[in-house]
């Protein structure tokens, strides 16, 4: 093993061919969140502390409901991709795969619960 060149050690450890695509998805979701977060703050903010009936009437309108739903979905997908990168960098072996599966399930579940709650509120 001491006589192996760097090239010989690197054979078989090539690129997974998905790094660019993953990076591009992170950039797209970042730009989407850059637009969605201020919209969400200005649509959700006025409803803080209001009575339930007023909140239901407000989120029954399409624009606030769509902004809230998009913010939830894009935010949790961005979270999932970011946590996956962090786990890939700092966790080894079987624990890596278990952590990625767990965080993917948590992200999709949280997004689904949020959209379900918003749909119940809006409908």
Q: pLDDT, tens digit, for every residue of 16-66?
A: 667 788 889 999 999 999 999 999 999 999 999 999 999 999 999 999 999
The answer as to whether 44 is a domain residue is: yes
Please state at what angle helix 62-90 crosses helix 19-44, rounded to 10 degrees: 140
Q: What is the number of alpha carbons within 13 Å of residue 23 lying toward its C-beta?
A: 4
Count of the separate structural domains present in the chain: 1
> pTM for the full model?
0.83
Q: Tell me the residue range of the domain where 80 lies.
A: 19-122
The answer as to whether 102 is a domain residue is: yes
**pLDDT per position as a tens digit, 69-108:** 999 999 999 999 999 999 999 999 999 999 999 999 999 9
What CATH number did the domain enclosing 89 receive?
Answer: 1.20.1300.10
């Amino acid at each position: 093993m001491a006589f192996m060149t760097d090239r010989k050690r690197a054979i078989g450890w090539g690129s997974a061919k998905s790094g660019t695509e993953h990076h591009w998805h992170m950039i797209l979701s970042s730009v989407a969140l850059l637009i969605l977060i201020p919209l969400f703050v200005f649509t959700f903010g006025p409803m803080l502390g209001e009575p339930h009936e007023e909140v239901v009437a407000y989120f029954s309108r399409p624009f606030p409901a769509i902004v809230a739903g998009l913010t939830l979905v894009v935010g949790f997908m961005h979270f999932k991709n970011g946590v996956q990168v962090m786990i890939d960098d700092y966790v080894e072996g079987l624990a890596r795969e278990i952590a990625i599966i767990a965080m993917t399930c948590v992200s999709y579940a949280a997004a689904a619960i949020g959209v379900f709650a918003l749909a119940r509120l809006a409908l």
